[in-house]
Structure 1
Amino acid sequence: MKKKLGLMVTAMLTAGTLLAGCGTSDEGKTSGGDKKDFKVAMVTDTGGVDDKSFNQSAWEGLQKFGKENNLEKDKGFKYLQSTAQSDYKPNLNSLIRQKYDVVFGIGFLMGADVETVAKQQPDAKLAIVDMVVKGDNVANITFSEHEGSFLVGLVAGMQSKTNKVGFVGGVNSELIKKFENGFKAGVLTANPDAEVLVQYAEDFNKAEKGQQIANTFYQQGADVIYHAAGGTGMGVFTEAKNRKKNGEDVWVIGVDRDQHEEGMPENVTLTSMVKRVDQAVYEVSEQAMNGKFPGGKIVEFGLKEDGVGIAPTQDNVDKDALKSVEDYKKKIIGGEVKVPKTDAEFEEFKKNLK
Structure 2
Amino acid sequence: MRHATKVASVVAAAALGLAACGSSTGNTTSPGGTGGSTGTAGGGGSLKIGMAYDVGGRGDQSFNDAAAKGLDKAKAELGADVKEASAVNGESESARKDRLQSLIDAGYNNIVAVGFAYAKAVGETAKANPDVKFAIVDDASPDSAGPNVDQITFAEEQGSFLVGAAAALKTKTNHIGFIGGVQTELIKKFEVGYEAGAKAVKPNVKIDVKYLTQPPDFSGFNSVDKGKAAADGMYQGGADVVYHAAGGSGGGVFTAAKAAGKWAIGVDSDQAKTAPADVRDVILTSMIKKVDVGVFDFITAVKDGTFKAGNRIFDLKAGGVDYATTGGHIDDIKSKLDDYKQKIISGQITVPKS
TM-score, reference length from structure 2: 0.81
Instruction: Tell me the matched-pair count.
Output: 297
Tell me whether 1:237 sits opposite 2:254 in the alignment: yes
In structure 2, the partner of 1:59 is: 68
Q: Deviations over 1:37-61 (max 9, x none)?
A: 1111210111211100010110111
Matches within 5 A, 1:292-331: 292-295=306-309, 297-319=310-332, 321-331=333-343
CA apart distance, 1:318: 4.4
| Structure 1 counterpart of 2:48, from 30, 39, 43 | 39
Instruction: Map 1:122-271; keep pairs closer than 5 Å.
Output: 122-132=130-140, 133-202=144-213, 203-244=220-261, 250-261=262-273, 262=275, 264-266=277-279, 267-271=281-285
CA deviations 1:149-186 (Å, max 9, x no partner) are 00001100010000000000011111111100000000
Q: Which runs of 5+ in 1 are unaligned?
A: 1-34, 245-249, 343-354
Q: Work out whether residues 325 and 331 of structure 2, in 8 Å CA contact, stay in contact via their aligned partners in 1.
A: no
Structure 2 Cα separation of the partners of residues 53 and 36 of structure 1: 28
TM-score (norm 1): 0.81
Does the CA contact (< 8 Å) of 1:302 and 1:308 recur in 2? yes
Percent identity over the alignment?
43
- Could you tell me how far apart the structure 1 residues matched to 2:127 and 2:195 are? 39
Q: Which residue in the other structure is 1:82 paired with? A: 87
Q: In structure 2, how many angstroms separate the alpha carbons of the residues matched to 1:270 and 1:172?
A: 24
Residue aligned with 2:251, SS? helix
1:116 shift after superposition: 1.6
2:56 and 2:64 in contact (8 A); partners too: yes
- Give the distance between the partners of 1:318 and 1:239, measured in 2 at CA: 24
Kindly provide the amino acid, as one letter, of the partner of residue 348 in structure 2.
E
Give secondary structure in 1 for the equivalent of 2:50: strand
Q: What is aligned with 1:29?
A: none
CA deviation map 1:312-344 (0-9, x unaligned) = 41511142x2111110111101010000100xx
Q: Separation in 2 of the partners of 1:144 and 1:103?
A: 23
Alpha-carbon offset, residue 70 of structure 1: 2.6
Q: Which has the higher contact order (CA 8 A, sep 6+)?
A: 1
Consecutive unaligned residues in structure 2, runs of 5 or more: 1-43, 214-219
- Equivalent residue in structure 2 for 1:283, among 297, 305, 308: 297
Quote the offset at 1:101 in angstroms: 2.9
Shift of 1:263: 6.4
Secondary structure, counterpart of 1:166 in structure 2: strand
Displacement, 1:121?
Answer: 1.8
> Shift of the alpha carbon at 1:97?
1.1
User: In the alignment, residue 236 of structure 2 is paired with which amino acid?
Assistant: Q
Deviations 1:7-45 (A, max 9, x none): xxxxxxxxxxxxxxxxxxxxxxxxxxxx95111121011
